[in-house]
Structure 1
């Protein structure tokens, strides 16, 4: 069970509410998201595309644009090297469409998850040499591919890196020494010398920024940029980067314009998933559309997803969308079975004593290792790696918790790994099988996680009586959308509520329906999804709840319903 904590961040909520014409509850939530200054609040509540930061501030972005335009003018063959996930797929599509509009002789490749692993490698470079490629442009990868890029340079290739992952480093005398390849230009806001004011872009947005500069230089039709922004918005949600600053602006733009998208593939995938495109939300992209775009790269090839996003024929797009939807259904079945196996393994072996979990599932398809690591991490609330057998040795994916920088921790064990990369909350590794036990031992030996850090915390935005949540406030909560990492859905709490009715309902018997009564004898309808039938409050019992107020519409009648996430 989580520990409940209430935010205690200070501000003049009355003044903020008066300035922006909002309820003080809304003002408090905004402050809880560390949006403090008037400029930040202006961007949070009213930011639009014009609020996005200047692409020219990205280190090497102008240099990369100059190189690419020169290559276009001299008819040099350019190859884009992407990644196999949603961010990589969207990045490739943005660069390919943008560079073709700019007149480039350009094609693309994406690594095979099993044969190639993550990012650019010597095999991809050798194919490029054979094909007479002059210039490689990476997207959503490349920052850590130092020997690979140096190999390309040794073979007289021009290399431009666009990426958003953490800069690799080594430790010397307790100091971080950041590493860098010999690429001709490196566009990544996380570079120490980069003056870009926001560091948490996804790979597709970095690619978009580069295309934006090229469009500006060549005076191309700026209307095209809307489609690229929509793709960057999809990648921002799908890659789970923080929905702060311009990421939030970009996602708001994407969600508001996708209903009119010119991308035939996106329309076909929305239809295949039986979603009304007019009501497309960040939830649909994160949990329905995104997994389908990822499914191709997980089980077959990411080319399926890129091909869909490039497709202009509606009939062909429908067939490609259905293929991805079907692959995702297969992926879901696979995930459920292996996740159950992983949880059982931890619960019934010595792994249960570890603070950092390393679960070896040799027969698991390596493409779902990251999803399973996320499931295990949520279940036990511990940093988790899931490692599977690969064509050569073993591969793994990790998912972390707050307070444990996964990328830094695996860097300390880098001598045990053949390849690794990532960021504080997630990582990918490859290693020899005989090193798995030592890797597990080293991670647990090095970790300094406290009992407090290993206890999940539910942060409550506002302790608020149910009676305060009327229709006007619920309507204002929409100002805070879209929700996601870095801009989480608000959390409210109330206490001393008397349970008047409580019953388990639903086809799967996992929905708790309640009628709660406050001290003033007012009654409220409440519902809890994914409920445990063994944990139902007793009638007339007093409970405290964590909740979110919603509007339930049935037969044309609107009522307020409180969605409970936890009760004590």
Structure 2
């Protein structure tokens, strides 16, 4: 069941239209995104790198830069310690490329997802010490590595942390006391004392900021930063950062750079996946390129993704891209199998009644836990945690809903966990097998989620009758891109649409094509790419076999639907026509 609600934000739309030379539709969509001040609207409509915050406002960034300069000047060895996801790979690439350009003696280490787990660990520190490494530079991790940093310092190493994750804390007399590692410099905009105004940067963006300061200090031309900005855009989308403020600039301008990228690995990966460079969008970053870069870290080694980005010949780039695509195809298959097992377990037990889903899939590959948790969250609209067997321990990954801060909720039941960390929307954890049931029970007993919180809300931007859609409007909507978290694709709606024609198309019969007519007589083609069997099942349940068969044979019938949609241009055999892509639907009883 869904609850459809209409955004109905008020503003002086006439004034916004005149000041920014935009249509009423666009003005309403911008206001719906919470932008009311002229400066905020202007920044949204005209994103540019020149409008990004100065990096010097970030706590310890100048200090970290001075340390790195000293190490470079004295030719002391620096080891970057990254992470195995896209943000970690991207951060490592940015630091490695930039430090190499600055003449540093630098190498990198990326933890193995299964052997090492998330972030820097003591084995990585021991290995660095034995290799004679002077300085450890973390990226996309390290903010929670209190004991590990302490050990590195005891061994006489310099440690610089660059990270973007939430600062760990303990509760003392109902107040949070934040715990920071005793590193030589900690660069993370989420620190309490950090004055950097935009707190939602990904790890790669924080690493980029540090390198921006280092380049300026070394007199390196700003043009050398440009290839690094492409990678920041990929990481920002793939780490599901809010595409607002500075992140919107990084991704929008980054996509422009990526459409003409000279990175051989990225070009090969796009070609391998049939992506035309000129048509590249944030969707391709999040759902095609990102999963391929991630596949190495999930099923083999994350260094495969990094090697792709570092490829220096077309032949090597193609080889790396092919390996990653094959790994991602295997990952997709394994994910479907794991999801089937999780759903079967939930549906066949009392777990379905829980407000926070905790599923133990013993045989599931631990690297897939987060993906499966995300799919469960989508299916049930509940926070979901998938646990898997890992050596003598149990490891898990969780994905949350807007009303549930997963990191805070895990903090409340920390006695059941040996280790955890993450964001409000996603987290990772380790625990013993005996702790699974107490952990699940505590999460559900302590939850403040209500039944209302678990009803998925479909938020409609504008009720827009089909007859008001024009090609000019569809073109203007591109100004709103890139779409993603915090800047979702606009959602329009029209009600009481008669179905004139119904067909199931596609190689796998997985697309529904409709011809619909609204109450004002406007006819338009509509496509549905979701759960086709569920859509058809609902039609049969609500209208009966006779009416559905009449729609399939293009005859008059009693089927009426209310739809939410996004409008597009369909180009076929040189012809252009407007069509709508159905996002949600409601069955209506015909009068």
How does 1:412-561 map onto structure 2 within 5 Å? 412-530=412-530, 531=532, 532=534, 533-536=536-539, 538=547, 539-561=557-579
TM-score, with structure 1 as normaliser: 0.98
**CA separation in 2, counterparts of 1:535 and 1:51?**
49
Deviation for aligned residue 1:356? 0.4
**CA separation in 2, counterparts of 1:216 and 1:86?**
27
Deviation for aligned residue 1:259? 2.5
How does 1:218-367 map onto structure 2 within 5 Å? 218-367=218-367
Secondary structure, in 3 states, of the residue corresponding to 2:453?
coil
Deviation for aligned residue 1:509? 2.8
Deviation for aligned residue 1:52? 0.9
Residue segments in structure 1 that go unaligned for 5+ positions in a row: none
Deviation for aligned residue 1:391? 1.8
**CA separation in 1, counterparts of 2:173 and 2:492?**
47
Aligned residue in 2 for 1:25? 25
**CA separation in 1, counterparts of 2:430 and 2:332?**
24
From 559, 562, 565, the counterpart of 2:580: 562
Does 2:89 align with 1:89?
A: yes
Does 2:66 align with 1:80?
A: no
**CA separation in 2, counterparts of 1:392 and 1:78?**
34
TM-score, with structure 2 as normaliser: 0.95
**CA separation in 1, counterparts of 2:497 and 2:112?**
55
Secondary structure, in 3 states, of the residue corresponding to 2:182?
coil
**CA separation in 1, counterparts of 2:329 and 2:512?**
27
Deviation for aligned residue 1:553? 0.5
Deviation for aligned residue 1:23? 1.1
Deviation for aligned residue 1:150? 1.1
Deviation for aligned residue 1:221? 2.4
Contact 1:304 1:320 survives alignment (8 Å): yes
Residue segments in structure 2 that go unaligned for 5+ positions in a row: 548-556, 587-591
Contact 1:388 1:394 survives alignment (8 Å): yes
Deviation for aligned residue 1:47? 1.2
**CA separation in 2, counterparts of 1:182 and 1:422?**
20
**CA separation in 2, counterparts of 1:83 and 1:392?**
23
**CA separation in 2, counterparts of 1:518 and 1:383?**
38
Q: Deviation per CA, 1:305-353: give whole Å up to 9, x if none.
A: 1111111111111111111111111111100000111011101111111
Contact 1:83 1:118 survives alignment (8 Å): yes
Deviates more, 1:530-539 or 1:406-415: 530-539
**CA separation in 2, counterparts of 1:227 and 1:415?**
45
Deviation for aligned residue 1:42? 1.1
Deviation for aligned residue 1:518? 1.9
How does 1:166-245 map onto structure 2 within 5 Å? 166-245=166-245
**CA separation in 2, counterparts of 1:152 and 1:541?**
68
Secondary structure, in 3 states, of the residue corresponding to 1:211?
helix
RMSD between superposed Cα atoms in Å? 1.1
